[in-house]
Amino acid sequence: MIDRDQNLTYDQKQRQRDSLNEVLRFCSNKTDCRRKQVLRFFNEEFDPADCHQGCDVCLGRDEERYTHRNVIEDAIKLVKMVQAFGRDDRITQVNAVDCFRGNIGQARKGLNLNPHFGVGKHWNRAEAERLVQTLLLERALAEYYSANGAGWSNAYLKVGRR
């Protein structure tokens, strides 16, 4: 929608995209206290210990355990996997996750023919989807849209600018 607005300059569109990405980062961040995130946006400091389980992240901290791990190598593999597809292959996010995890999927797109098929077979689906979303947010991957015969737009992946 941002790109379709012909009344906006390139810089205005970029600011809107950046703002949207910040909102998406906030929503997908399941490890940092929400209050800390919001106040950081306003250049203020907040100690998450003072939250006292007042936000969804801190409230769920006792039930959900997260570990930090470096996924750069797998992220690079996923980008190379998307790059190995041609634009005519029209790979969706679901297709990319399936190919990354080594699932042929329902699309019958020959995902198993990709030289990087299954490089993320040790990833569970939810985490692989999160990796694809993160790569989109960080612009390592991008989406392009194409209208189908019924007039609906479909989003397909390509390698991003970063």
Asked whether residue 99 carries a pLDDT value surpassing 80, the answer given is: yes
Predicted local distance difference test score (pLDDT) of residue 1: 67
Domains of the chain by residue range: 10-59, 72-159
Percent of the chain with pLDDT over 70: 96
**Quick one: which of 159, 162, 155 has its CA closest to 3?**
155
Q: How high is the mean pLDDT of the chain? A: 87
| 141 vs 133: CA distance, rounded Å | 9
- pLDDT bracket for residue 64 (50, 70, 90): low
pTM: 0.71
The CATH number of 72-159 is 1.10.10.10
| Cα gap 45→56, rounded to integer Å | 19
Residue 19: predicted pLDDT: 83
